[in-house]
Amino acid sequence: MPLDPSLPDDLAWRGLLAHTTDLDALREALAAGSVRYYVGFDPTAPSLHLGNLVQILTARRLQDAGHTPYLLVGGATGMIGDPRDSGERTLNSADTVADWVQRVRAQIEPFLSFEGDNAATMVNNLDWTGGLSVIDFLRDIGKHFPVNRMLARDTVRRRLESGISYTEFSYVLLQSMDYLALFRDHGVTLQFGGSDQWGNLTGGVELVRRADGASVHAFATPLITKTDGTKYGKTEGGALWLDPDLTSPYAFFQFWLNVEDEKVGELLRIFTFLPRAEIEALEAQHAEKPFLRAGQKALAEHVTTLVHGAEETARIQAASAALFGGGDMGGLSADTLGAALREAGSVRLDRADGLPGVLDLLVSAGLAKSRGEARRTVTEGGAYVNNVRVTDPDHVPSSDDLVGGTWLVLRKGKKSFKGVEVV
RNA sequence: GGCAGGUUGCCCGAGCGGCCAAUGGGAGCGGACUGUAAAUCCGUCGGCUUUGCCUUCGAAGGUUCGAAUCCUUCACCUGCCA
């Protein structure tokens, strides 16, 4: 694949270069030939999430520009855990980590090409750490890490108050060793990761320099935050997962559709492959008529398509149109409504059991965690059956309320829809 | 190993024998305003068969008519001394 010389400018324009080791040297390297680069994913959960998607897409951008990806899934680093501010991690069992390694690999694979002269390669750092002895590790790797420097790292410094185990303190050595191993075995000379990984990235660069006297590169992508500075990628359920079983494609789509105005441009640049001109046109339109939310719609459509495919995205768009179209549910056919509700999430009830009251409906549909919470929602005026507000906690829908004889549309607040299918 | 302080609801953090399901802030949730945005304002925020009942304040015992609050033991964390 021919090199695309515009890559560094494109990365910079998209805001993906939050930190770089030596930008000029990196530009030179990227212009000189197909650079072998790597990005790592630690299996600390059964699925990757929004933050990881930035790395996956960035990896794809580099590959599209002619460079050669090495995707590392951290079977070893995942056994240890990167220190984080929220405190010491609980260690996961080897079986769990091994299982997650498989899942994470499978999630990454569709995004990259494993064919051609710059085909991607999957690697697992367990391969070069599994057989390593402690003595070799301390002599060959540990010797290159001054503890005083390690102590100065932000995350470590913050953790010194609350406490940090030797295990997590040592994490940076493992990740740095990955870079050295990939440099030696595969000629990898570029690593990137999230900006929260910057310390680990430079740790690797430093190790390669000290151990082998070579100069390699690293850059960090920005941390995606809301305008108030808090972390992005949170939805009611917690993190926004790429796995459709953990975060439904419908919820995923809705997340993007609801992105705050100020962030649309930034997110379009980072999370879509739309060309610059198109993004700038969307931004201009958005600035002029923000209420149309053209940016959010494009963002939701493109990112959902990337992760869940065009077909699923089309179904979600139809579902959203039906549910948010407002007004009378009776105007929709049972088929249309049923399809929409299945996207949004629905539960089945047996007709023979009779229709439960609103409170139980809200709970069984998952819109409320307890009857107490359901009661509160109703009392606060946030509960709707078929888009009609219900204010009586004891209200029981009748079979006349069933749209098309089968569906009940439950809504909590402005935008949480669930279907109840009575069969 | 010794001394001192701490462990409270999703998070931070008050309470220091009854008026405590527990002040306050944040997050969350609902309402109003909008554009399925942001900001703002209001309400809400353990569970239930909800004018009452049940389970919570690190764990287990104890004192008391009555404890998150007092005592004992245990676990963990922080600081000072060895």
Domain housing A273: 238-308
Does the residue A231 lie in any domain? no
A381 CB below 7 A from strand B atoms? yes
A313 CB below 7 A from strand B atoms? no
Here the tokens at position A398 are 């009748």
Same domain, A128 and A195: yes
Q: What is the reported pLDDT for A332?
A: 74
Here the tokens at position A63 are 């590959």
The enclosing domain of A413 has a CATH number of 3.10.290.10
Does the residue A233 lie in any domain? no
Same domain, A358 and A302: no
Same domain, A384 and A299: no
Complex ipTM value: 0.84
Question: CA A416 → C1' B77, Å?
Answer: 41
Does the residue A248 lie in any domain? yes
Total domains, chain A: 3
The answer to whether A382 and A412 have CB atoms below 8 angstroms apart is: yes
- Nearest nucleotide to A416 (CA to C1') is B36
Beta strand A416-422 pairing with A407-412? antiparallel
Question: CA A394 → C1' B51, Å?
Answer: 17
SS3 A239: strand
Protein-proximal positions, strand B, CB < 7 A: 28-32, 34-39, 43-50, 77-79
Same domain, A21 and A168: yes
Query: What residues contact A368, with CB distance under 8 A and at least 6 apart?
Result: A359, A362, A374, A377, A412
Band of residue A236 on the pLDDT scale cut at 50, 70, 90? very low
The answer to whether A257 and A300 have CB atoms below 8 angstroms apart is: yes
A288 CB below 7 A from strand B atoms? no
Three-point CA angle A268, A271, A273, nearest 5°:
80
Same domain, A98 and A169: yes
- State how far the Cα of A323 lies from the Cα of A320, in Å rounded to an integer: 5
Same domain, A290 and A182: no
Burial of residue A358, with CB atoms counted within 10 A of its CB: 0-12 exposed, 13-18 middle, 19 or more buried: buried
A296 CB below 7 A from strand B atoms? yes
Q: What is the reported pLDDT for A89?
A: 73
Here the tokens at position A340 are 């929409």
Three-point CA angle A18, A265, A219, nearest 5°:
15
Question: CA A229 → C1' B38, Å?
Answer: 14
Does the residue A232 lie in any domain? no
Same domain, A34 and A133: yes
* pLDDT tens digit sequence for A202-221: 999 999 999 999 999 999 99
Does the residue A145 lie in any domain? yes
Picking from A191, A223, A255, the residue at the C-terminal end of a domain is: A223
Same domain, A74 and A173: yes
Picking from A223, A254, A283, the residue at the C-terminal end of a domain is: A223
CB atoms closer than 10 angstroms to residue A308: 19
Does the residue A313 lie in any domain? no
* pLDDT tens digit sequence for A96-129: 899 999 999 999 999 999 999 999 999 999 999 9
Same domain, A387 and A272: no
- State how far the Cα of A126 lies from the Cα of A132, in Å rounded to an integer: 10
